[in-house]
Amino acid sequence: MARMMYRDAVVSTIAEEMERDPSVVMLGEDIVGGMGTPGGPEAIGGIWSTSTGLFGKFGADRVIDTPISESAIIGAAAGLALSGKRPIAELMFADFIGVSLDQIWNQLAKFRYMFGGKSRCPAVIRMAYGAGYNAAAQHSQSVHQILTGMPGLKVVMPSTPADVKGLLRTAIRDDDPVIFLEHKALYGMKGEVPDDPDFTIPYGHARLARAGQDVTIISSGLLLGFCEAVADKLAAEGIGCDVIDLRTTSPLDEETILDSVEVTGRVVVVDEAPPRCGLAGDICALIANKAFASLKAPPEAVTPPHTPIPFARELESAYLPSADKIEAAVRKTLSWR
């Protein structure tokens, strides 16, 4: 086991997979930085430092610095994937999917199905999502809600360095398009990461971050940490929480969710995306539909309000679900009988 940061787990996994498989290539804006400028060939290595050193190791054919052209980046990833390569495209901020949406939604995601299963499209689209930096409405969004709703895409949201390692390796080796969402407030998070070069985590397998029998809390990303803190606090009062880290929203691990709810009968789903037509509602519907008999309280959803993301510090923290709001929701489910 090595101890490393979430961002280092990204770089080291890409490096190991590029080493192992010559068809893996990477492309994105400023993933090299400094190209054609006095500062030299690699000045930046990605604005999140998630490609540092790769250009020096693998060269310009495999680490492709692109202009600011998201449609072309995603479209090129689709073309590379259809032509035998395994592209890893970096979109910098998840918010920029808007610019490239057709290439993700109508092209990449649909090839395998539309072409009657004759093609695979092994592309990984990585992007940093989430609030917490006061980056305001156009640089803070959680986009899993939109992408999970698109048939043809696998959607991954790692919450720890170890999960980055195992899930990213699975993504790169996967023959289908994978959206890999890295929470920007987690890049500096440290954790133990298995050294095994073939350590992978299969999709659709949630992780039980805390175990308890009274309430099920379901989340992922930055807010998972808040849920764990609430579970730890309530444990001191003798209230036991299952905290489920979803890991992937598509496929969704229904079994782990339903097994837990069947024991606890109470559930709080915590999500960073807006409330309407979203993940939290989707999971509440799943539970109402498939675990109704076990429920002792209505499922609770804790999400931001249905507004764009505000800039000011006070506003952003009022917008985001907090540990207090999560705790209140848990207590609300406990108030039923």
Question: Does 65 engage in binding with ligand TPP (CB under 6 A)?
Answer: no
Cα(89)–Cα(78) distance, integer angstroms: 10
Least separation in angstroms between residue 74's CB and another protein is 12
279 binds another protein (CB under 8 A): no
Q: State the Cα–Cα distance between residues 54 and 164, nearest whole angstrom.
A: 18
Amino acid sitting at position 306:
H
| Closer residue to another protein in complex, CB, 140/249 | 140
Select from 6, 55, 96, 187 the one that contacts ligand TPP (CB under 6 A). 96
Piece of 79-87, 92-100, 119-127, 172-180 that binds ligand TPP (CB under 6 A): 92-100
Considering the complex, state which of residue 198 and residue 314 has its C-beta at the smaller distance from another protein: 314
Q: Has 205 been annotated as catalytic? A: no
Q: Encoding tokens for residue 143? A: 């986009």
Give every CB contact of residue 175 below 8 A, 6+ residues apart in sequence: 120, 121, 122
Interacting residues of 328 by C-beta distance below 8 A, sequence separation 6+: none
Question: Per the structure block, which two tokens stand in for 162?
Answer: 């170890």
| Identified binder of another protein from the candidate list 8, 14, 26, 33, rule CB under 8 A | 33
288 binds, among another protein, ligand TPP, none (CB under 5 to 8 A by kind): none
6 binds ligand TPP (CB under 6 A): no
Structure tokens at 43: 């000045």
- The CA-atom distances, in angstroms, between 215 and each of 180, 280, 299, 305 are 29, 16, 10, 23
**Least gap, CB of 51 to another protein (angstroms):** 12
CB of 308 to ligand TPP, least distance (A): 16
- Smallest separation (angstroms) from another protein to the CB of 274: 8
Which residues, 133 to 152, sit near another protein by CB under 8 A?
Answer: 133-139
- For position 70 contacting ligand TPP by CB under 6 A, the verdict is yes
CA 94, chain centre distance (Å) = 10
Helix/strand/coil for 249: strand
Smallest distance from ligand TPP to CB 38, Å: 16
Mark residue 201 as left, alpha or beta (left: phi above 0; alpha: psi -120 to 50; beta: remaining).
beta
Among 92, 131, 185, 257, binds ligand TPP (CB under 6 A): 92
**DSSP string for residues in 122-191:** --EEEEEE--SS---TTS----HHHHHTSTT-EEE---SHHHHHHHHHHHHH-SS-EEEEEEGGGTT-EE
Integer Cα distance of 245 and 264 in angstroms: 16
Catalytic residue, chosen from 139, 144, 183, 306, is 139
Return the residue matching tokens 């609300």.
Answer: 332
Which of 84, 116, 238, 305 binds another protein (CB under 8 A)? It is 305
Point out which residues bind another protein (CB under 8 A): 29-30, 32-40, 43-44, 47, 65, 67-72, 95-96, 98-99, 133-139, 275-276, 305-308, 310-315, 318-319
- Which residues are tagged catalytic? 139
Point out which residues bind ligand TPP (CB under 6 A): 29, 68, 70, 92, 96, 99
